[in-house]
């Protein structure tokens, strides 16, 4: 048993940010056994049979928050982070992204890059991620084992794509695509990891013909798997999909009629959705991965998250590396606020996201999108203990830097002029 005592911050269904001070949180094995007022500590010791040696007191400068969830990230693209953001999506994929992913046919590349990706994400507070690897079976298997060993919670998808992609980076046949995907699913289930699950990953409708989408939906059903893809990210993508699937009513309809929409489906972006498409996402309980850095960096568009939330659609945050150039969900949180405010400036509707709401998207919202909110997302007894300990006590050098970059009147406690203290906010 381990017990933390101090300040905890999390979201609940009703309140986007709840701050619990003087609180005790007890952990047994992987799970939260209790979260109670610290004044009950003596009784808790008796009830749960622990002693003072199990208690860790957070300092005044520390707090705990739930681990963050990245609902959409391409692990194989991280080496391009911050590079090559000068083309729109479809040209960007062709010129930069497919060549980068193709390198993972060499297992050595995977062994070199993937450990850095997982460590980078964990260091940035991402305790759960929904990953795209590449279309390579062996590298994807290696990645699944690695994420398990590093101790991160994850959905891991071997990418499927077989048309409208270069010959050097393309699945050979429908049969091979489905066989490799099933092999990958079985491999991950055989690992029997409590942390890792496979996710069916048709890249997007442009690269996956109808029979492939249907075949993948069948596999998802057979193994009760999660599903992830990209939806309505850019206008040119939507136009091309309408040409490729002339029978479809919309892009959402392409995934819908092939059997890919359900409560375990994550759709990234959803920037340019018609009203009927949003209604369908809600009906099917599909989750949306909002990727604001990527949407702005690739000039894809501004996603109106408020509209999604008002429809009752599940929304989480995604970094979408390397369309987005930051691997941090904190960055995604800040970008989500920026985009929401930008839309508000256009519409003047005062419906922009608040900071607590963005915090919820990064934690509980993300947990809902990956359909794990019964296990993670906030601090409730019975849930897994996925948490970050934050300490804002800096070295003196860092304090000075942070003050010069981010400080303001809240940090200027006293002002003296000619020996007279003209401002004094000490102890206010
Ligand atoms: N659509 C299809 N593939 C991709 C990808 O790798 N990144 C982004 N942002 N969009 C995509
Ligand atoms: Fe993406």
Q: For ligand 1, is residue 203 a contact (CB within 6 Å)?
A: yes
pLDDT of 244: 98
Kindly list the distances between the CA atom of residue 374 and the CA atoms of 65, 87, 181, 231, 368, in Å, as whole numbers in the listed order.
Answer: 17, 40, 27, 26, 8
Ligand 2 centre and the CA of 320: distance in Å?
A: 5
Predicted local distance difference test score (pLDDT) of residue 51: 97
Query: Does ligand 1 come within 6 angstroms of the Cβ of 97?
Result: yes
Residues 284, 208: Cα–Cα separation, whole Å = 21
Q: What is the pLDDT of residue 428?
A: 53
Check pocket membership of 294 for ligand 1, CB cut-off 6 A: yes
Cα–Cα distance for residue pair 380/284, rounded to 1 Å: 27
List the structure tokens of 213. Answer: 């989408």
Report mean pLDDT in 10-residue bins for the chain, 428 residues: 95 96 96 98 97 94 92 97 95 98 98 96 94 98 97 97 98 98 98 98 98 98 98 98 98 98 98 98 98 98 97 98 96 96 90 95 98 98 94 81 82 85 80
Please state the pTM of the whole predicted model. Answer: 0.94
233-261 core/surface letters (b: 16 or more CB in 10 A; e: else):
bbeebbebbeebbeebebbbbbbbbbbbb
Task: Report the nearest-CA residue for atom 3 of ligand 1.
Answer: 203
Mutate to test the pocket of ligand 1, among 92, 323, 326, 332 (most ligand atoms within 8 A of CB): 323
Under 8 Å between Cβ of 205 and 254: yes
Ligand 1 atom nearest 132 alpha carbon: 6
CA atoms within 13 A on the CB side of 165: 27
* All residues at 6 or more sequence positions from 75 whose CB lies less than 8 Å from its CB, including other chains: 114, 117, 118, 131, 132, 133, 143, 321
Overall size of the chain counted in residues: 428
Q: Is 321 in the pocket of ligand 1 (CB under 6 A)?
A: no
User: Residue 84 corresponds to which tokens in the numbers above?
Assistant: 């090559």
The CB of 89 under 6 Å from ligand 1? The reply is: yes
Distance CA 260, CA 227 (A): 7
8-state DSSP, 94: I
Cα torsion for 336, 327, 227, 193, to the nearest 10°? -130
pLDDT value of position 397: 82
Rounded distance from Cα 268 to ligand 2 centre (Å): 7
204 CB within 6 A, ligand 1: yes
Q: How far is the CA of 363 from the centre of ligand 1 (A)?
A: 23
Protein residue closest via CA to atom 9 of ligand 1: 323
Nearest CA residue ID for atom 7, ligand 1? 323
Distance CA 392, CA 183 (A): 46
Structure tokens at 365: 């919202």
Question: What are the helix and strand counts (H, E) for the chain?
Answer: 16, 17
Ligand that comes closest to the CA of residue 297: 1
Ligand 1 atom closest to the CA of 74, numbered from 1: 6
Q: Say yes or no: CB of residue 74 within 6 Å of ligand 1.
A: yes
417 bridge partner residues:
420
Tokens of 210: 């109808």
Nearest-angstrom CA–CA distance, 182 and 228: 16
Distances (CA, A) of 354 to 30, 234, 290, 345, 360: 32, 26, 16, 15, 10
Give CA–CA dist 333/326, Å, rounded. Answer: 11
Q: 147: Cβ below 6 Å to ligand 1?
A: no
Q: Is 320 in the pocket of ligand 1 (CB under 6 A)?
A: yes
Task: Provide the sign of the torsion angle of the four alpha carbons 111, 213, 236, 366, taken in this order.
Answer: negative
Instruction: Count Cα atoms within 13 angstroms, Cβ side, for 33.
Output: 16
- Rounded Cα–Cα distance for residues 283 and 403 (Å): 48
Please state, in angstroms and rounded to a whole number, the distance separating the CA atoms of residues 163 and 246.
16
Ligand 2 centroid to residue 267 C-alpha, Å:
9
* 165 close to ligand 1 (CB < 6 Angstrom): no
Ligand nearest to the CA of 296: 1
Q: Say if residue 377 is preceded by a cis peptide, omega within 30 of 0.
A: no
Q: Which residues contact 408 (CB under 8 A, 6 or more apart)?
A: none
Q: Which of 85, 164, 230 to mutate to test the pocket of ligand 1 (most atoms within 8 A of CB)?
A: 230
Rounded distance between C-alpha atoms, residue 223 and residue 217, angstroms? 10
C-alpha closest to that of 160 among 71, 113, 99, 229: 229
**Phi, psi at 119, each rounded to 5°:** -65, -40
- Residue from 353, 368, 354 nearest 305 by CA: 353
Rounded-to-integer distance, Cα 239 and Cα 237, Å: 6
Nearest CA to ligand 1 atom 1: 230
Please tell me the distance between residue 300's alpha carbon and the centre of ligand 2 in angstroms.
12
- Whether the CB of 133 sits within 6 Å of ligand 1: no
Strands 55-57 and 196-202: unpaired
Decide whether any atom of ligand 1 lies within 6 Å of the 230 Cβ. yes
User: Virtual CA dihedral for 316, 319, 320, 326, nearest 10 degrees?
Assistant: 170
* Dist. CA 341–CA 350, nearest whole Å: 9
């Amino acid at each position: 048993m381990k017990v933390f005592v101090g300040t905890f911050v999390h979201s609940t269904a009703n309140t986007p940010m709840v701050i619990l001070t003087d609180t005790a949180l007890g952990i047994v094995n992987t799970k939260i056994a209790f979260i109670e007022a610290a004044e009950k500590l003596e009784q808790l010791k008796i009830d749960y049979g622990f002693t003072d040696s199990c208690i860790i007191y957070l300092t005044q400068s520390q707090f705990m928050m739930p681990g963050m969830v990245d609902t959409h990230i391409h692990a194989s693209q991280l080496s391009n982070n911050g590079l090559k953001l000068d083309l729109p999506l479809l040209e960007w994929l062709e010129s930069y992204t497919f060549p980068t992913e193709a390198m993972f046919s060499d297992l050595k590349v995977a062994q070199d890059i993937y450990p850095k990706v997982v460590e980078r994400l964990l260091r940035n507070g991402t305790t759960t991620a929904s990953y795209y690897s590449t279309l390579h079976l062996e590298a994807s298997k290696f990645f699944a084992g690695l994420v398990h060993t590093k101790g991160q919670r994850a959905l891991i998808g071997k990418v499927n794509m077989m048309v409208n992609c270069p010959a050097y980076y393309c699945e050979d046949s429908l049969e091979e695509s489905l066989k490799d995907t099933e092999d990958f699913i079985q491999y991950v289930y055989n690992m029997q990891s409590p942390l890792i699950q496979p996710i069916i990953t048709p890249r997007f409708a442009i690269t996956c013909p109808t029979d492939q989408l249907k075949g993948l939906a069948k596999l998802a059903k057979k193994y009760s798997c999660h599903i992830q893809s990209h939806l309505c990210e850019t206008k040119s993508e939507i136009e091309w999909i309408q040409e490729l699937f002339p029978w479809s009513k919309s892009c959402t309809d392409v995934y819908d009629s092939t059997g890919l929409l359900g409560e375990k489906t994550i759709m990234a972006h959803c920037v340019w959705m018609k009203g009927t498409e949003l209604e369908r996402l809600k009906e099917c309980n599909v989750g949306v991965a909002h990727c604001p850095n990527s949407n702005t960096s690739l000039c894809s568009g501004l996603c109106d998250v408020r509209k999604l939330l008002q429809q009752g659609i599940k929304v989480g945050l995604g970094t979408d590396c390397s369309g987005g150039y930051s691997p941090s969900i904190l960055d995604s949180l800040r970008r989500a606020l920026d985009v929401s405010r930008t839309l508000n400036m256009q519409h003047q509707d005062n419906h922009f996201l608040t900071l607590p709401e963005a915090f919820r998207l990064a934690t509980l919202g993300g947990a809902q999108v990956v359909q794990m909110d019964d296990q993670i997302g906030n601090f409730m007894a019975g849930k897994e203990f996925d948490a970050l300990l934050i300490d804002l006590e800096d070295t003196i050098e860092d304090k000075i830097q942070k003050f010069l970059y981010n400080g303001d009147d809240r940090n200027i406690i006293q002002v003296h002029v000619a020996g007279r203290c003209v401002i004094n906010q000490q102890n206010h």
